[in-house]
A and B are shown apart, each in its own frame.
Chain A
Amino acid sequence: DADVTQTPRNRITKTGKRIMLECSQTKGHDRMYWYRQDPGLGLRLIYYSFDVKDINKGEISDGYSVSRQAQAKFSLSLESAIPNQTALYFCATAASGVPVETQYFGPGTRLLVL
């Protein structure tokens, strides 16, 4: 969905390096999420945020941190990258105040940690 953009789309880094993945959205949604996808597995939630001052850990938050700088931006950081963080990372957004929650995903960032 072009309304949710992620940068970079691909990244190669070395063990121990700090990297940041960016997510921006023009959908006006309050809720934003970061997921990780490994080959043959489903999406696993890393962190999520329901507004600028709200940060919540997901099921696999260890080794990651996030920043919600504005309603439209949600960044994911790997403080010290390790090889098992090699994965496909997705950002998603959702509207609040509706009975059901439908998430809209960005195109993904493919990360390789050497």
Chain B
Amino acid sequence: GESVGLHLPTLSVQEGDNSIINCAYSNSASDYFIWYKQESGKGPQFIIDIRSNMDKRQGQRVTVLLNKTVKHLSLQIAATQPGDSAVYFCAENHTGRRALTFGSGTRLQVQP
């Protein structure tokens, strides 16, 4: 069946370094991907999305890369800050399906 998963459950980085969070998916029909950030005690918050007709999309300090060949998605955070500490989820959907499938999440810890 379809699945969305992450390579690492916890990522620890130094403040100011770049962070890369990875996500693998298995459904070839997936055509829409989203990254969410969940801070402690809060609900997930939308960060950035990308459709399958793109391989890169940039936001403010964040970049999402999509490699459809290997079914891999990554979130890059530039100049990581303490406020970036959170759990990050990827999610996917495909045309005709009415709900997202979420991955299990990666915890990002930013060391001062």
Interface residues of A (CB under 8 A from B): 1, 4, 33, 35, 40-45, 48, 50, 56, 58, 90, 92, 100-108
- Would you call A105 and B45 a contact (CB within 8 A)? yes
| CA distance in complex: A44, B44 (Å) | 13
**Is B73 close to A, CB under 8 A?**
no
The interface size bin for chain B is: 20 to 34
A-B pair count, CB < 8 Å, reads 53
Contacts of B98 in A (CB 8 A): 48, 50, 56
| CA distance in complex: A7, B36 (Å) | 23
Contacts of A43 in B (CB 8 A): 44, 89, 102
Partner of B99, one of A40, A45, A90, A104: A45
Q: List 5 A-B contacts (CB under 8 A).
A: A1-B45, A40-B105, A45-B99, A50-B98, A108-B42
- Would you call A58 and B99 a contact (CB within 8 A)? yes
Which of B9, B43, B99, B105 has the largest number of chain A CB atoms within 10 A? Answer: B43
- Chain B nearest CB from A42 CB (Å) reads 4
Partner of B46, one of A48, A104, A106: A104
Q: Kindly report which residue of chain A lies nearest to residue B31, judged by CB atoms.
A: A100
Contacts of B43 in A (CB 8 A): 1, 4, 90, 92, 105-108
Q: Kindly report which residue of chain B lies nearest to residue A33, judged by CB atoms.
A: B99
- Would you call B103 and A101 a contact (CB within 8 A)? no
Contacts of B93 in A (CB 8 A): 101
**Is B56 close to A, CB under 8 A?**
no
- Chain A nearest CB from B112 CB (Å) reads 25
Known: A40-B9, A48-B99. A107 touches B42 (CB 8 A): yes
Contacts of B100 in A (CB 8 A): 45, 101, 103
| CA distance in complex: A45, B51 (Å) | 22
**Is B49 close to A, CB under 8 A?**
yes
- Would you call A102 and B49 a contact (CB within 8 A)? yes
Contacts of B9 in A (CB 8 A): 40
